[in-house]
Amino acid sequence: MDDKFKKIPNHIAIIMDGNGRWARSKGKDRIYGHTNAKKAIRESIEICGELKVQYLSLFTFSTENWNRPSIETKALVKLIEKVMKEELNDLIKNNIKIKVIGNLSKFSSTTKNTFLDGISKTKNNTGLNLVLAINYSGKWDIINAIKEVKTKEKDFSKLEEKFQSYLSTNDIPDPELIIRTGGEKRISNFYLWQAAYSEFIFADIFWPDFRKKNLNNAIFEFQKRKRRFGGL
């Protein structure tokens, strides 16, 4: 096997941080930063496809993002919807399958239908699985799972083994590598359960500047690490 395909993470998750600070550094408003993040998303998808990564999760919109000014959240939701529509044909052409996780109940029917259209039109694709976490939080995911467990499980002796099946990521393997851009070193309520044994890389680069070389560097760093899973 070609060296570049050795020890490639099966699932990479990215916390796309730094859009607002990137925009401020250029004397622009935060929305300008979100608008200029599309190239980083596109290049991340491309390199994951080239390296045969099976899953790429993008923390697209967190439940906490609603705490931002409404003008920003409205613009961000419209931008997510716009990018989904613009990129859908390329995603289909490149055999990419879309999955959306998160609480979609807060969105308009038009926005929800845009997400559902992307899921439907790519459901038979067999390449990279693109997981978009939209209005998602790790706490929300765990609480929802607990509610289901409470009504469906009688025997709790093997709950840890079963719990994954109640999460929104029940058909997705846990991420082996989680990357956060923007220089901050925290998980920000993303994959709380799923990140138990993930490797973390914190990149000192704002998300709009993130390119293939940066993702490659993160994978190279991942390949140097020895994953022990609590063992020796």
Question: How confident is the model at residue 103, as a pLDDT?
Answer: 96
The upper half-sphere exposure of residue 43, i.e. CA atoms within 13 Å in the direction of its Cβ, equals 15
Is 65 tagged catalytic?
yes
29, 65, 103, 117: which one is catalytic? 65
Give the pLDDT confidence of 134-176 residue by residue, as tens digits: 999 999 999 999 999 999 988 888 888 899 999 999 999 999 9
Helix 109-122, helix 70-93: angle, nearest 10: 20
CATH of domain 13-222: 3.40.1180.10
User: Where is 150: in which H helix or E strand?
Assistant: helix 138-152
3, 10, 17, 171: which one is catalytic? 17
Give the pLDDT confidence of 217-228 residue by residue, as tens digits: 999 999 999 877
User: Where is 138: in which H helix or E strand?
Assistant: helix 138-152
Local confidence band at 21 (pLDDT 50, 70, 90 cut-offs)? very high
Question: How confident is the model at residue 5, as a pLDDT?
Answer: 53
Q: Is the pLDDT reported for residue 102 higher than 90?
A: yes
Q: Is the pLDDT reported for residue 13 higher than 80?
A: yes
Question: How confident is the model at residue 133, as a pLDDT?
Answer: 98
pTM to 2 decimals?
Answer: 0.94
Question: How confident is the model at residue 231, as a pLDDT?
Answer: 64
Distance of alpha carbon 155 from its chain centroid, rounded?
A: 33
Give the pLDDT confidence of 54-71 residue by residue, as tens digits: 999 999 999 999 999 999
Give the pLDDT confidence of 90-100 residue by residue, as tens digits: 999 999 999 99
- Exposure string over 143-154, b if 16+ CB within 10 A, otherwise e: eebeeeeeeeee
Local confidence band at 16 (pLDDT 50, 70, 90 cut-offs)? very high
Question: How confident is the model at residue 26, as a pLDDT?
Answer: 97
Question: How confident is the model at residue 1, as a pLDDT?
Answer: 39
Q: Where are the domains of the chain?
A: 13-222
